[in-house]
Amino acid sequence: MSKKLFFSLFLIVSSVASLQAQRHELGIRFGTSNLVGDIGKTSYLLQSPNTDNIQDFGLPAYAGITYRMNFNPYQTLRFDLGYSHIQFDDRDAKEEYRRNRKLFGTNNILEASAIFEYYFFPVNNEQKGMLSPYIFAGAGAMMFDVTQAQLKHDFRRDVNGVAQSPVNELDYVTSVEYSSGKKVNAYIPFGAGLKYKFNHNWAISGELMFRPTFTDQLDYSDIKEKDISSSYNADILAPSTTTSLLQTGVYFAVSKEREAELLKNRQVGDKNVKDWVNSVTVGITYSFGRPPCYCE
């Protein structure tokens, strides 16, 4: 066996041994999540839920699972998988212009994140009980619902439903059909919490988490150009082609203008200000694994 291969195997075995020597935690977390966006309330935490129509709105909630790897009594690396149901309703907002606008909706968010935690006291040591505040920050990705639109461009028709040739570039009809799609975007979780270890293996914690995102679509207030598609009726074809007349020349140019008009009319608020999703949660975790050898 060559020296390089032996050294590589030694590094791998050492890494595995180091990993096994860490103290691990596995647990669950529950709480409430709320949106701060262009529609609905603007308070960052503990928005009172809309309970007038729970069947349609549901309740703003968070549920997830947590795994921690404790490097030492003060520092941990944490991985979260979570689900948030958020609701937003202009009718409950403080701002009068939002209440008059009366837009509302809900969204479902699946998220995954990696977070570094720092504890002010050695709560992750091998003692039976300990209380410590902590701060954290990390990076994550979320999958959520977005609005998509299809513009259907069609000829005007007579009483028998027969397509009529346009008399000018504007002489055709466009209808819009909306649907729901999925999109993935990044966010930056950070916040603070309080952890209480009440047993050698069990601990509970409560925390406030803020998630600034890189999207303005969680409240459907913005439709991106790539979320719009167009279809063209082919009852009348361009001369000597198999292409709809509406996909050629000035007719096609008008269809693009109508797409741009839809994008403009569907924009609510400031698209340069991104959405936040924030949570207040309580969790319980169980510690297992071999205690690490901390060096003082």
Q: Which amino acid is at 147?
A: T
Helix count (H) and strand count (E) of the chain?
A: 4, 10
Find the mean pLDDT for residues 119-133.
Answer: 88
User: What's the rounded Cα separation, in Å, for the pair 118 and 132?
Assistant: 10
Long-range contact list for 90-98, CB < 8 A, 24+ apart? Answer: 90/39, 90/40, 92/40, 92/41, 92/48, 92/50, 93/40, 93/41, 93/42, 94/41, 94/42, 95/42, 98/39, 98/40
Task: Look at residue 140 in the predicted model and tell me its pLDDT.
Answer: 97
Once rounded to an integer, what is the mean pLDDT over residues 152-173?
Answer: 94
pLDDT at residue 11, as a whole number? 46
pLDDT band at 146 (very low <50, low <70, confident <90, very high): very high
Better pLDDT: 65 or 19: 65
Domain 22-145+180-222+271-288, what fold? Porin (2.40.160)
23-36 and 276-288 as β-strands: parallel, antiparallel, unpaired? antiparallel
- Please write the tens of the pLDDT for every residue from 195-252: 999 988 899 999 999 999 999 999 999 999 999 999 999 999 999 899 999 999 999 9
**pLDDT band for position 290 (50/70/90)?**
low
Mean pLDDT of 34-54: 82
pLDDT of residue 72: 87
What is the distance of C-alpha 152 from the center of its chain? 30
What pLDDT, in 10s, does the model give residues 59-96? 899 999 999 999 888 999 999 999 999 999 888 888 88
14 DSSP β-pair partners: none
Query: Domain extents for the chain?
Result: 22-145+180-222+271-288
Identity of the highest mean pLDDT range in 35-44, 87-96, 139-148: 139-148
